[in-house]
Amino acid sequence: MSAHLLVSDLSASPGSRTIFSDLSFNLAPGDLVGLVGANGAGKSTLLRILAGLLEPESGRVQVSPASATIGYLPQEPRRSPANHGHEQLADPDIEAYLARRTGVGPAEVEMYAAADALGDASPGAADRYEIALQTWLSLGGADLAERSHDALAAVGITVGLDTKMSSLSGGQAARVSLAALTLSRYDIYLLDEPTNDLDLASLERLEQFVISLRAPVIMVSHDREFWLAPPTPSWS
């Protein structure tokens, strides 16, 4: 899918301070935007608004087509029951973590709920199920389990899918997070500091993945090297 992100006149004041105002931009397929700024500048707040998790003070965020999936990948892992509403699993195993980060888990929940509604013959149930199924398929749900083993092996993770995320080291958890990213099939990507805790080989893998995407990407990173020497896009 060729997805666009359309942002107009966005303002945010999460505390008493306005952190940005009248922000307008459009992202098209192939756009890769690096978002840099001081701690507290508002990068994560912007991504959360774009992902629909926070209401802006004013302005509008649209995705086109409306069915486009947005992959908002917050800095992870959060090991504890978090203060963020979207964080539902306090200590997932790797399989559940991959399902959540790729969007396949939530899509599966909706698909089963839609299937139940089909049984009740509720109005609109057939359309709801069709949309849920298409979303799950487009996110790569059909073969996520098969692909997971290779993606984990590629980043050097050899423990089982039932291993708790909390039992991994920070670097190992970051590699699982990278594996989740490479497994994902979103139409738009909002990545919040995906470079944290990655070693050089993993950083290179992340770079290769990000530049190979045709989907629009916004990526927050304090890693200046990442922006100064990006590899050439493989599809240009």
For position 37 contacting ligand ATP by CB under 6 A, the verdict is yes
Residue 125 binding result from Mg ion, ligand ATP, none, given CB thresholds of 5 to 8 Å by partner type: none
How far apart, in Å, are the Cα atoms of 34 and each of 4, 78, 118, 167, 221? 17, 23, 43, 32, 7
3-state secondary structure (DSSP) of residue 186: coil
Pick the binder of ligand ATP from 44, 195, 202, 221 (CB under 6 A): 44
Distance CA 123, CA 112 (A): 17
Helices (H) and strands (E) in the chain, counts: 8, 7
Q: Sort residue 224 into left (φ over 0), alpha (ψ -120 to 50) or beta.
A: alpha
Residue 32 binding result from ligand ATP, Mg ion, none, given CB thresholds of 5 to 8 Å by partner type: none
Q: Which stretch binds ligand ATP (CB under 6 A): 3-11, 43-51, 92-100, 181-189?
A: 43-51
Q: How many residues bind Mg ion (CB under 5 A)?
A: 2
| Cβ nearer to ligand ATP, comparing 41 with 133 | 41
Mention every residue, 6+ apart, whose C-beta is less than 8 A from residue 85. Answer: 53
Q: Any idea of the CA torsion for 94, 184, 170, 226, to the nearest 10 degrees?
A: 170
Print the binding letters for residues 26-65 with Mg ion: x by CB under 5 A, - otherwise.
-----------------xx---------------------
| Cβ nearer to ligand ATP, comparing 48 with 205 | 48
Helix (H) or strand (E) holding 176: helix 170-183
Smallest gap, in angstroms, from Cβ of residue 27 to ligand ATP? 19
Smallest gap, in angstroms, from Cβ of residue 58 to ligand ATP? 16
Tokens matching residue 213 = 């995407």
For position 45 contacting ligand ATP by CB under 6 A, the verdict is yes
| Cβ nearer to ligand ATP, comparing 11 with 64 | 11
Owner of token pair 């959360």: 48
Tokens matching residue 110 = 């909706």
For position 221 contacting Mg ion by CB under 5 A, the verdict is no
Residue in the shown chain whose Cβ atom is closest to Mg ion: 44
- Positions touching ligand ATP (CB under 6 A) are 14-15, 19, 37, 39-45
Chain positions contacting Mg ion, by CB under 5 A: 43-44
